[in-house]
Amino acid sequence: MKNVLFILGTRPEAIKLAPLIKVFKQDKGFITKVCVTAQHRQMLDQVMDFFRIKPDYDLELMKPNQGILQFMANAILKLEPVFDEFKPDVVFVQGDTTTVLAGSLVAFHKTARIAHIEAGLRSHNKLSPFPEEINRIITSHLSSWHFAPTQIAIDNLKKEGITENVYLVGNTVIDALKMGIAEVTAHEKEFLSYFPSIDFSKRIMLVTCHRRESFGAPFVQICEALLHLAEEYKDIEIVYPVHLNPNIKEVAHKLLIHNNIKLISPLEYPQLIWLMNKSFIVLTDSGGIQEEAPSLGKPVLVMRDVTERMEGVVAGTAKLVGTDKQRIIDECSKLLEDKKAYAEMANAVNPYGDGTTSLQILGKVKEALN
């Protein structure tokens, strides 16, 4: 039996690793354990509870006003005893967070094989997303196995000289979404009660915005665009779960005052995917939502100048609109007014997989270890 350790710290990591953790725990060929850094304490716990995953190691590293470098240093120091005790043969990390880079560095120094989930994503701009782009690049060059979601991701790895043990498997986010949607749709009335202020007879525009690149003037432009749309289209309801970062929260609550705009608290994963499923358009700067919303047939407008998820743009499920006020207004208006344009995006084939990614990864790891 091989020892397998999953290292994660944020809500997106938990969502994307949950279905994979489940298939490995069900396989008798592995002793599977989960280590959390708690980089996102509350949001992480919500997802872990929803998917019924209990961590074997909880490092509890997040502290108020903690910088990235301090978190990185603490993560490396706290992970070493975990490796010394469990002695993992394989370490799974997902994505691009500080937790991923810290876990990969420790795994490399402890000579454990690293399996990188969602490998090969690149924006080709080391400052955007920051510091995630560099986290991904370093992790790729430390990893033993690269589980890429799309051909574009594989091509990115190839350009960096990474050609061995690279597998095209899709994205585990679709596995997680299918599991989650099945759960929430079975409790429709319960989830409807979470949103008493929202008028679901209107077309719902779901907005998520939190990236540090948007702080300041770009976020003001976004708010002005949303206000214009709320005033122009009386049959829409703009619903914005506002991130707790004061750079976002304070500005949103100051500027976004309109009857057709509902500012709500950050949502747990089940409520978010339920609301996404009820939406007409999704306007976001989130990475995961760019992958999830197309599986639900929702056009995605990405409020970023560059994205490491160009597959959706190429496939037609997503469109880059940046943070320019007029561009956001124009693209939203097109989808609200032009049924053909809406249908083209809503019916485009999601390039991120079919919900079998976790089983494919399990198979590839077993094959490589035998």
Question: Which pLDDT does position 310 carry in this prediction?
Answer: 87
pLDDT computed for residue 111 by the predictor: 97
- Do 189 and 125 fall into the same domain? no
Chain-centroid distance, C-alpha 347: 22
For residues 162 and 193, state if they share a domain.
no
Q: Is residue 84 part of a domain?
A: yes
Count of domains observed in the chain: 2
Same domain? 137 vs 279? no
Residues 6+ apart with CB under 8 A from 3: 30, 31, 33, 86, 87, 88, 89, 90
Query: Do 331 and 362 sit in the same domain of this protein?
Result: no
- Domain membership of residue 315 (yes or no) is yes
Instruction: Give the pLDDT score at 342.
Output: 97
Regarding whether 243 and 124 lie in a shared domain, the answer is no
Write out the catalytic residue numbers: 96, 118, 132, 210, 212, 243
Q: What is the spatial distance between Cα 295 and Cα 306, in angstroms, rounded to a whole number? A: 22
Residues 105 and 231 grouped into a single domain: no
Q: Is the peptide bond before 299 cis (omega within 30 degrees of 0)?
A: no
Q: Is 116 helix (H, G, I), strand (E, B) or coil?
A: strand
What is the CATH classification number for the domain harbouring 77? 3.40.50.2000
Residue 177 lies in a domain: no
The reported pLDDT for the residue numbered 78 is 98
The vertex-207 CA angle with 43 and 218, nearest 5°, equals 100
Q: Contact, 305 vs 128, CB < 8 A?
A: yes
Same domain, yes or no: 165 and 283: no
Angle at 215 between CA 210 and CA 220, to 5 degrees: 100
- Quote the pLDDT of residue 270: 93
Q: Are residues 151 and 254 in the same domain?
A: no
132, 71: one domain:
yes
DSSP codes joined into one string, 125-190: -TTSSTTHHHHHHHHHHH-SEEEESSHHHHHHHHHTT--TTEEE---HHHHHHHHHHHHHHTTHHH
The span from the CA of 213 to the CA of 207, in Å, is 16
pLDDT number for residue 213? 84
From first to last of its 370 residues, what are the pLDDT tens digits of the chain? 999 999 999 989 999 999 999 999 999 999 999 999 998 787 889 899 999 999 999 999 988 888 999 999 999 999 999 999 999 999 999 999 999 999 999 999 999 999 999 999 999 999 988 899 999 999 999 999 999 999 999 999 999 999 999 999 999 999 999 999 998 988 888 999 999 999 999 999 999 998 888 889 999 999 999 999 999 999 999 999 998 888 899 999 999 999 999 999 999 899 999 999 999 999 999 888 998 999 999 999 999 988 888 889 999 999 999 999 999 999 999 999 999 999 999 999 888 888 999 999 999 999 999 8
Same domain, 198 and 272: yes
Indicate whether 219 belongs to any domain. yes
Cα–Cα distance, 15 to 27 (Å, whole number): 20
Same domain for 365 and 285 = no
Let me know whether 337 and 202 are in one domain. yes
Q: How far apart are CA 131 and CA 124, in angstroms?
A: 12
Q: Are 268 and 46 in contact (CB under 8 A)?
A: yes
Supply the range of the domain harboring residue 124: 2-171+354-369
The rounded Cα 314 to chain-centroid distance in angstroms is 19
**Hunting for tokens 């990188």 — which residue is that?**
116
pTM of the model: 0.85
- Is there a domain that residue 179 lies in? no
pLDDT at residue number 243: 87
Residue 180 lies in a domain: no
